[in-house]
């Protein structure tokens, strides 16, 4: 078969009058859409075959691909409003036949009203929930109308003829009206419950995986780093893999990206990939929002330690109610600001000058042991 004679695939469009079945079938068969729709209407009178065939194709025919893969389905027909209107029509019919004393017809009209009103509410909570052309106000109006319709239907059947059977049907209509009012809340609670259950299952599975990996892979990576030394290429690769694995395992326990400690850990991971250094970030105190000046100065201090000292570098972050202090310590040969050439602006401008302009302070000098200690101090913002 040539390409020209090949039929287009059977795919429903994302913008349709109702379900897009007629358009999909017309494109696939190369028929006019009007002919396909007339054929469905004619089949309805063949024992309802048209309705069943339409629903079958609707359920089994896939949607056409979208450009971004997440484009929603929009329908031009306000199905929920039409169902509510039909339910109101049956209420009117129920009232008319009750005046003629045809009580069997009254009961059948009531059951049809309950089915149509319930379908309208279900449509607003499912199909219209993802339809960008249907607003939340539209769903509220439809559900309110369905509630009023059900209450009127129950009232008509209760007043048509006093009997136990009619009383049961009237109460059924009132209960259905209450269910319509509570349906959005019930759906929300059920969705939250399923989401929480899924999250708990994922957390338990993650904990089992973390326990297994901690006993095997993570310990192996830690042993490689210990045996190889912080300055070796093998240790740096093992350190990067350990960080990635820990981030994946404990992603839900990591603070937001705006947290200062998280920012410094991400900077440390990047530096470790470029330099023969091992950077440990330790925090004390409550998490704080990252300050651009403080993060920039700490990054420069960590880079200097990696370039000129290497080996082990420790970053200690201490937060109190009134201030934030960051200490960057290395074990290199040390630095003397007085002997630095004037063109060396990394410490003077990127660290000291940056902190001064931000209203803080920075000191660079020898630490408690060998190496250099950079102390960054910034007063906490006050309301």
pLDDT, tens only, 359-375: 899 988 876 667 888 99
**pLDDT score at 272:** 81
| DSSP class of 101 | T
- Average pLDDT of 285-305? 85
Q: CB under 8 Å to 187, separation ≥6 — which residues?
A: 125
**pLDDT score at 17:** 84
Q: Which two tokens stand for residue 329?
A: 């310590």
With cut-offs at 50, 70 and 90, classify the pLDDT of residue 190. Answer: confident
pLDDT in tens, 89-142: 988 888 888 776 677 787 788 888 888 988 888 888 888 877 878 888 888 898
Q: Which two tokens stand for residue 170?
A: 């009237």
**pLDDT score at 238:** 73
Any bridge partners for residue 259, and if so which?
289
Contacts 24+ apart (CB under 8 A), 17-26: 17/75, 17/76, 17/77, 18/75, 18/77, 18/79, 19/54, 19/58, 19/75, 20/63, 20/73, 21/54, 21/57, 21/58, 21/61, 24/57, 24/61, 25/57
- Average pLDDT of 279-293? 84
Please state, in angstroms and rounded to a whole number, the distance separating the CA atoms of residues 255 and 267: 15
Other beta carbons within 10 Å of 65: 10
Q: What is the dihedral of CA 316, 318, 323, 326, to 10 degrees?
A: 0
With cut-offs at 50, 70 and 90, classify the pLDDT of residue 174. Answer: confident
Please state, in angstroms and rounded to a whole number, the distance separating the CA atoms of residues 346 and 353: 10
- Decide if 242 contacts 222 (C-beta within 8 A): yes
**pLDDT score at 328:** 92
**pLDDT score at 247:** 67
- Average pLDDT of 234-263? 67
Backbone angles phi, psi at 32, to 5 degrees: -65, 145
Paired sense of beta strands 372-379 and 361-366, if any: antiparallel
With cut-offs at 50, 70 and 90, classify the pLDDT of residue 229. Answer: low
Greater confidence (65 vs 357) lies with: 357
Res. 20: pLDDT tops 60:
yes
Res. 315: pLDDT tops 90:
yes
pLDDT in tens, 146-158: 889 888 888 888 7
Q: CB under 8 Å to 122, separation ≥6 — which residues?
A: 183
**pLDDT score at 367:** 65
Percent of the chain with pLDDT over 90: 7
- Decide if 319 contacts 286 (C-beta within 8 A): yes
Arithmetic mean of pLDDT over the chain: 80
**pLDDT score at 351:** 87
Helix %, strand %, coil % for the chain, to 5? 60, 10, 25
Please state, in angstroms and rounded to a whole number, the distance separating the CA atoms of residues 209 and 189: 30
SS3 assignment, position 369: coil
Pick from 381, 362, 360, 304: which is nearest to 335 by CA? Answer: 304
With cut-offs at 50, 70 and 90, classify the pLDDT of residue 86. Answer: very high
- Decide if 176 contacts 150 (C-beta within 8 A): yes
Question: Domains plus CATH for the chain?
Answer: 78-201 (no CATH), 255-379 (3.30.565.10)
- Average pLDDT of 239-257? 62
- Average pLDDT of 292-318? 88
């Amino acid at each position: 078969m040539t390409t020209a004679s090949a039929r287009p695939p059977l795919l429903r469009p994302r913008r349709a009058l109702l379900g897009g079945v007629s358009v999909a079938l017309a494109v696939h068969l190369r028929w006019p859409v009007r002919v396909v729709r007339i054929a469905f209407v004619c089949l309805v009178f063949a024992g309802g075959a048209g309705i069943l065939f339409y629903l079958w194709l609707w359920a089994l025919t896939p949607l056409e691909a979208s450009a971004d893969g997440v484009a929603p389905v929009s329908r031009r027909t306000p199905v929920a409003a039409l169902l509510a209107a039909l339910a109101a029509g049956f209420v009117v019919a129920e009232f008319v036949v009750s005046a003629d004393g045809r009580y069997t017809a009254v009961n059948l009209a009531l059951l049809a009203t309950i089915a149509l009103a319930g379908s309208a509410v279900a449509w607003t909570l499912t199909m219209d929930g993802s339809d960008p052309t249907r607003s939340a106000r539209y769903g509220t109006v439809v559900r309110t109308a369905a509630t009023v319709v059900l209450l009127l239907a129950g009232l008509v059947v209760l007043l048509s003829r006093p009997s136990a059977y009619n009383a049961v049907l009237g109460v059924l209509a009132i209960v259905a009206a209450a269910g319509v009012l509570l349906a959005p809340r019930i759906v929300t609670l059920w969705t939250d419950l399923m989401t929480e259950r899924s999250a708990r299952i994922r957390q338990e599975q993650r904990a089992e995986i973390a326990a297994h990996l901690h006993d095997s892979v993570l310990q192996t990576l830690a042993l490689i780093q210990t045996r190889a030394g912080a300055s070796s290429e093998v240790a740096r690769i093992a350190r990067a893999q350990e960080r990635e694995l820990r981030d994946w395992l404990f992603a839900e326990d990591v603070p937001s990206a705006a947290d200062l400690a998280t920012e410094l850990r991400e900077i440390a991971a990047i530096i470790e990939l470029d330099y023969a250094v091992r950077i440990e970030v330790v925090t004390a105190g409550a998490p704080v929002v990252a300050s651009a000046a403080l993060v920039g100065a700490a990054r420069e201090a960590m880079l200097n330690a990696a370039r000129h000292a290497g080996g082990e570098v420790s970053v200690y972050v201490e937060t109190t109610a009134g201030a934030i202090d960051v200490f960057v310590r290395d074990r290199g040969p040390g630095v003397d600001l007085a002997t630095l050439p004037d063109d060396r602006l990394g410490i003077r401008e990127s660290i000291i000058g940056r902190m001064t302009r931000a209203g803080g302070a920075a000191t660079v000098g020898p630490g408690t042991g060998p190496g250099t200690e950079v102390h960054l101090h910034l007063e906490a913002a006050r309301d």
